[in-house]
Structure 1
Amino acid sequence: MVSAAALITNRKWFYVAFIAAFVSQILIVLAWKDAKFGTIANIIIIVASYYAYSNYKFNTMVKTETAQILQNLNIENTNTVLEKEILHLPEIIQKWMLNSGVVGKENINSVRLQQKGKMKTKPNSKWLNFTAEQCFNVKEPAFIWSTKVDVMPMLKMVGRDKLINGKGNMLIKLAGIIPIVNEGENEKINSATMLRYLAEIVWFPSAALNNYIYWEAIDKLTVKATLTINEKSVTGVFKFSDVGEVQSFEAKRYYGAGEHATLQTWYIKIREFKDFNGYKIPSKSDVLWKLKEGDFNWLYLEITKLNYNTLELKNHFNI
């Protein structure tokens, strides 16, 4: 009983199960008349083992990539943000820094957060529930985002989006096995992924102080932000309330995949705020595409957990 429990809880149990099923199937072939129905059980075991192996491989990839973006990051003796450090920014960005609670706290160098929500893959498709984890390097802009999507009962879809050294990559697999999307390191995906990073600094607002972002006021409540990584730049527009709460983000971003991707208006609307570790940040958002045929509201997102300046590498997904 103890041995069985140890096998089930071992993350690499699928190796043993696969070998056992393979050996069992050989014995079944040798004694086919008496044991042929054992083939059904072996097929189930082999499929389950491969499913578990795919889960293990996906999680290992995410953990390795997360370690890669954090490997040179120092979170010890982090400087405290002083009010004089925000004075060069547009006035509404200064209000945002103060309203968010940045001043007087440590500079944020890394972020780990968890999300939940629902998404659509097409305007006329059904809503799919998802959970996700994301890790950011704020000093050298990078992130790893991994998600599990409930496609239907007993069937999941996993995905990973990443930005490293200004290059993006998106991977989506059905059941962790069948590739649906695997696109990366072209100018369209690089630009789209950089824009995602720029939009998501609202979750770690001290990033606004880094030299890789240039701020330019459009009016009292609207600011254009330009993110530059390795001499490549993307631009988006943030809008704020009078007191410095982020209201929205908008940018021209590539919609679709591959050569068919076209520039469309990508819009994020902030719905709610919440206090995380003394910072007031957006906790609920709607993400949509403004298309010629109408708005495609494709994502409802909620931040459920958030930690700053941590190098934790845990991954909590099982597909």
Structure 2
Amino acid sequence: MRIALIALVTLLVVHGAIHLLGFLKAWGLAALPQMRGRTIVPLGATATHVVGLLWLLAAVILLATAALRIANIEGWWIAGAVGLVVSQALVILAWPDAKAGTVANMILLVPVLVAGATARFDHQVADERSTLLADAVTMPASPVRAEELADLPAPVRRWLTRAGVVGRPRTSRVHLTQRGEMRTTPDGPWLPTTAEQDFSVEPPGFVWQVHTTMLRVLPIVGRDRYARGAGNMYISAAGLYPVVDASGPPIDQGSRLRFLGEIVWFPSAALSPRIRWTPIDDDSARATLVDGDEPVSADFHFDPQGRFVSLTAERAYSGDGTRQPWLVTASEWRPHSELEVPTAGEVLWRLPAGDFSYFRWQIDSLQIDP
């Protein structure tokens, strides 16, 4: 990705500098015999000076775009789009001499379009996130009492006690950031990812947004959403071409299981009347979430210290609803917002052909009721 950035900035600077030569030529400020100043329509002296100023304007915009991109300013692509429009108009006017500039403009158009499409995608997801959080019910301000844990299976009581739920208010909304790596096939390459996620505890819901890169240059953006009992998974190449746009009962079932498993980041949700706990043994208990058309269940496993260590469930693996064993593990735990939560782990499928680990995650930040 760094190589692509260097190439983009270099092309913007060189292209901008060439436009600056057009200004110098038009105003007679430099002897440039290789630039004959031919245009598709005749220009008088005044018009030539005006066009020269436009060459200067294009140069300034393209160089400013390079600076904005280096500074990682989100709207750099807007300046770039304006610069390319002005540049191509001048190229057409000076076509006999400047037609090669079209090649540079077409090359630069690709990252500008990608950045614009990605920004549009980010704004759409931000709207979904705002809707999710606006619909979230604010939980009672009274803290969780130890007596509320009395009827839970023993390992769940140990978990909630160690996590620090007792004496703290119930969670209503959660925001977290992640980083990690994912892959789409068992033998595929691992792709570095960054992700951001928001949760509503009541009603259950989340919006998870991920950014990654394929082949080090192709941005991939994705969003997994669960709201009002329904799930949707959307993945797009560069924000321009939808690769996945999946919904329906299998996605709903998987999204419910995902929400159920991720309550480990806001453990007071384990006390929700929507979740029923059934003991399995001294270290495990089954949670059943009732939301939407079909209840879902997952087995939570804890270590002797009361820390969550893994979750197992039968989750829809394919579009026809075929289910396979799904496993989430935790390998690190740290305090966030005065609660001890899992902060690193792995997600995998246990397929007949063997385990398929597809996501390794790490929590960077977690905010409870931000």
- Asked if TM exceeds 0.5, the reply is yes
2:364 maps to which of 284, 304, 307: 304
Tell me the CA shift for residue 27 of structure 1: 3.9
1:23 and 1:103 map into 2 onto residues whose CA distance is 63
Gaps of 5+ in 2: 1-59
Q: Which moved more, 1:170-179 or 1:107-116?
A: 170-179
SS in 1 for 2:261: helix
- Structure with greater helix percent: 2
- Structure with greater strand percent: 1
2:334 is the alignment partner of 1:274 = yes
Instruction: Determine the structure 1 residue equivalent to 2:225.
Output: 162
1:229 maps to which of 278, 281, 291: 291
Q: Which amino acid aligns with 2:211?
A: K
Q: Structure 2 vs 1, CA of residues 20 and 241 (structure 1 numbering), >3 Å: closer, same or farther?
A: closer
Q: Structure 2 vs 1, CA of residues 240 and 13 (structure 1 numbering), >3 Å: closer, same or farther?
A: closer
- Does the aligned pair in 2 maintain the 1:284–1:302 contact within 8 Å? yes
4+ runs deviating over 3 angstroms: 1-17, 72-77
Tell me the CA shift for residue 31 of structure 1: 3.3
Instruction: Determine the structure 2 residue equivalent to 1:317.
Output: none
With CA pairs under 8 Å and 6+ residues apart, which has the higher RCO, 1 or 2?
Answer: 1
Tell me the CA shift for residue 66 of structure 1: 0.5
Q: Percent identity?
A: 36
Instruction: Determine the structure 1 residue equivalent to 2:303.
Output: 241
2:205 is the alignment partner of 1:145 = no
Q: Which amino acid aligns with 1:109?
A: S
Q: Which moved more, 1:227-236 or 1:136-145?
A: 227-236
Tell me the CA shift for residue 10 of structure 1: 6.5
Q: Which moved more, 1:17-26 or 1:263-272?
A: 17-26
Normalised to the residue count of structure 1, the TM-score between the two structures is 0.89
Q: Which protein is bigger by CA-based radius of gyration?
A: 2
Normalised to the residue count of structure 2, the TM-score between the two structures is 0.77
2:266 is the alignment partner of 1:194 = no
CA RMSD of aligned residues (A): 2.3
Gaps of 5+ in 1: 311-319
Instruction: Determine the structure 2 residue equivalent to 1:172.
Output: 235
SS in 2 for 1:114: strand
1:222 and 1:139 map into 2 onto residues whose CA distance is 25
SS in 1 for 2:135: coil
Tell me the CA shift for residue 95 of structure 1: 1.2
Cα distance per residue 1:1-34 (max 9 Å; x no partner) = 7994799477445445334423543443343211
Instruction: Determine the structure 1 residue equivalent to 2:134.
Output: 71
- Does the aligned pair in 2 maintain the 1:166–1:232 contact within 8 Å? no
- Does the aligned pair in 2 maintain the 1:288–1:299 contact within 8 Å? yes
Tell me the CA shift for residue 172 of structure 1: 0.8
Instruction: Determine the structure 1 residue equivalent to 2:106.
Output: 43
Cα distance per residue 1:55-93 (max 9 Å; x no partner) = 211110111000011113365972211111222222221
